[in-house]
Amino acid sequence: MKRSLLLPTFLVLLLCGLFFATQRVPFSNSPPPREGVYNVSGNDPAGLAPYKGNATLIRHGSGYVFQGVIDDMHYEGVGLFDPRAGTLSLSFRGQEQGDMGVTLLRVEGDSLRGGWLYMDDPEGGSGVEFWTWQHEVLPPTEPEGD
């Protein structure tokens, strides 16, 4: 009797597997992050050193470039937006040797929220970061002529 149930059970599981394998998984198809100037705040991996600053995010071709000043340190980098996941992945480097890493931010309306990791951190700890959109990037002003 056990043997007679084995084949039908196998066939049902096989058909269920084929059915679910052909189904599309829903994704968020999120809008991209806004270009502009953001206030940035966060904490180090231990959560003991809060920091603040600002960053400018600009669309560049199929990706993004950013520059920022956080706790008087200059950072720059490039990134890609994944509309299905609703995330912006940034690689960054700072002004000091070894100041390189990655940031992964989820787009939440006019804010970005996520974490970062330094490449040379011996403990591999990740920090937490929040970006809040402030305003569009203002075009440079030309000096008035005489």
- CATH number of the domain where residue 109 is located: 2.40.128.120
- Give the 3-state secondary structure of residue 137: coil
Has residue 26 been placed in a domain? no
Question: Which positions ≥6 away from 72 have C-beta within 8 Å?
Answer: none
Q: What is the pLDDT of residue 9?
A: 45
In terms of Cα–Cα distance, which of 139, 92, 133 is closest to 113? Answer: 133
Q: Name residue, tokens 């059915």.
A: 19
pTM: 0.74
**How many domains are there within the chain?**
1
Question: What is the domain extent for residue 114?
Answer: 36-135
Structure confidence at residue 143 (pLDDT): 67
Residue 102, pLDDT > 90, answer yes
How far is residue 37's CA from residue 139's CA, in Å, rounded to a whole number? 12
Element (DSSP H or E) covering residue 113? strand 111-118
User: What is the overall mean pLDDT for the chain?
Assistant: 81
Residue 2 lies in a domain: no
- Looking at residues 50-77, what average pLDDT do you find? 94
Residue 44 lies in a domain: yes
